[in-house]
Amino acid sequence: MHRRTRTRSTLIAAAGLLAAGPLLTACGNQSHPGAAALVGGERIEVSALQGQANAVRAAQAKTPQGEQVISGTGHLTRAELQIMLFQRVVARAADDAGITVSRKEIQQARAAEAEQKGGEARLESDRLGQGHAPGQIEDAIRRDIQLTKLAALNQANLATPEGMQKVGAVLGRASKALKISVNPRFGKWDDQQIALIAQKTPWITQKTKNEEAKQAEQAGAQQVP
């Protein structure tokens, strides 16, 4: 179980599938009134995205180094959109492959991860560092299991570049099938990288920075003594 956990982390970190750094906003031609993105014909509402980002900010604010953690995770809203989109791509690829994940599998994987890390509190802290609030952890674990099963189905070793390329190709096909379109306020989706890509639009970037600074301030104000 420990090896499988490390392997999933290797795929996510090495392939850059989760937002590890600040993402810039981008310009685009499509209009997305009220939506952060369109995925497979379904909308990810801006309000839903902001709610997820706020949950992460609130959890960060409650940590002993809350202010430091918050200051070190700028552009959180776009990072959370990356997570939401990537999870949907993995879910589509798993569905296309006939892969399912049971509630029991998620519980077992979470228990194993908590044991490996030295307890549930450490698990939550580590997952928070990856952009997942406590209430979002099980969705992240489901995604990890789906990735593991996709790798096994494609006889891919995720600890190697070749293995990551195999799974990346599967995810790329799923991404294209979903026809992901992102509100230019948050960036542009790349089916090959399976990520939001950076394109500079200074006026949108500055507006978003101001909004996220305000959200971080509000999250800190809500911190429980």
- Which DSSP category does 119 fall into? S
pLDDT reported for residue 89: 98
Q: What domains sit in the chain, N to C, each tagged with a CATH number? A: 2-217 (1.10.4030)
Mean residue pLDDT across the chain: 81
Distance of CA 136 to the CA centre of its chain: 10
**Percent of the chain beyond pLDDT 70?**
69
Say if CB 69 and CB 131 are below 8 A apart: no
Say if CB 198 and CB 218 are below 8 A apart: no
For residue 79 the two structure tokens come to 């990072």
pLDDT reported for residue 199: 61
pLDDT (tens digit, 9 = 90+) per residue, 113-146? 999 999 999 999 999 989 999 999 999 999 999 9
3-state secondary structure of 130: coil
**φ, ψ of residue 134 in degrees (nearest 5):** -50, -40
Handedness of CA 142, 155, 180, 21 (dihedral sign): positive
pLDDT reported for residue 203: 45
**Which residues, at least 6 apart from 192, have a Cβ–Cβ distance to it below 8 Å?**
172
Segment 73-97 shows an average pLDDT of: 92
pLDDT reported for residue 64: 79
Whole-prediction pTM: 0.76
Inform me whether the pLDDT recorded for 46 exceeds 90: yes
